[in-house]
Amino acid sequence: MIRHIQARIDEALSLFPCVALLGVRQCGKTTLINNLPRNWKQYDMEKVSDRELVLRDPDLFFRMNPQQVAIDEAQMVPELFPALRVAIDNDRTSPGRFIITGSSSPDLSRKISETLAGRIAILELSPFSIAEAYNYPVSDLFLQSFTKYEAMEPNLDPSRTTLQQILTYWEKGGYPEPWIKRNDRFHDLWMSNYFENYLNRDLAGLFPKLNRDKYRLFLQSLSQLSGTIINYSDLGRNLGLSAPTAREYLEIAHGTFVWRSLPAYEKNATKRIVKHPKGHFRDCGLLHHLWHIDDQRDLLSHPLMGRSWESMIIENIIQGFQQIGLIFQPYYYRTGAGAEIDLIIESSKGILPIEIKFTQKINRRDLRALKDFIKERNCPIGWVIHNCERVEWLDDKILGIPATYL
Residues with Cβ < 8 Å from 348, sequence gap 6 or more? Answer: 327
Residue 1 falls inside a structural domain: no
- The answer to whether position 225 is within a domain reads yes
Same structural domain, 373 and 233: yes
- Identify whether residues 115 and 252 lie together within a single domain: no
Q: Supply the DSSP string of 20-85, one letter for each residue.
A: EEE--TTSSHHHHHHTS-TT-EEEETTSHHHHHHHHSSHHHHHHH--SSEEEESGGG-GGGHHHHH
Helices in 256-379 by DSSP H: which ranges?
284-291, 296-300, 305-323, 368-377
Gyration radius of the chain over CA positions: 22
Domain assignment present for residue 172? The answer is yes
* Same structural domain, 292 and 198: yes
Q: What is the pLDDT of residue 152?
A: 54
Assign residue 78 the CATH number of its domain. 3.40.50.300
| pLDDT value for 146 | 61
Within-domain flag for 310? yes
pLDDT number for residue 106 = 62
- How many domains does the chain fold into? 2
pLDDT value for 124: 93
* Predicted local confidence at residue 105, as pLDDT: 65
Q: Is residue 351 part of a domain?
A: yes
The answer to whether residue 240 sits within a structural domain is: yes
Whether 95 and 161 map to the same domain: the answer is no
CB 95 within 8 A of CB 15: yes
| 71 & 13 share domain | yes
Q: Which residue positions in the chain have pLDDT lower than 70? A: 1, 104-107, 145-158, 268-271
Q: How far is CA 323 from the centre of its chain?
A: 11
SS3 406: coil
Distance of CA 359 to the CA centre of its chain: 24
Residues 12 and 137 in one domain: no
In a domain, 277, yes or no: yes
Of the residues 89, 106, 124, which one is the last residue of a structural domain? Answer: 124
On whether both 251 and 267 belong to a single domain, the answer is yes
Q: Are 334 and 263 in contact (CB under 8 A)?
A: no
In angstroms, the CA 279 to CA 99 distance is: 30
Q: Are residues 43 and 156 in the same domain?
A: no
Asked whether residue 337 is domain-assigned, the answer is yes
Q: Which of 71, 99, 124 is the last residue of a domain?
A: 124
Type of residue numbered 95: P
165, with CB counted inside 10 A (0-12, 13-18, 19+), is middle
Q: Looking at the structure, do residues 98 and 173 belong to the same domain, yes or no?
A: no
Exposed / middle / buried, residue 324 (Cβ in 10 Å: 0-12, 13-18, 19+): middle
Q: Are residues 155 and 87 in the same domain?
A: no
**What does the pLDDT read at residue 148?**
46
Residue 83 structural domain: 6-124
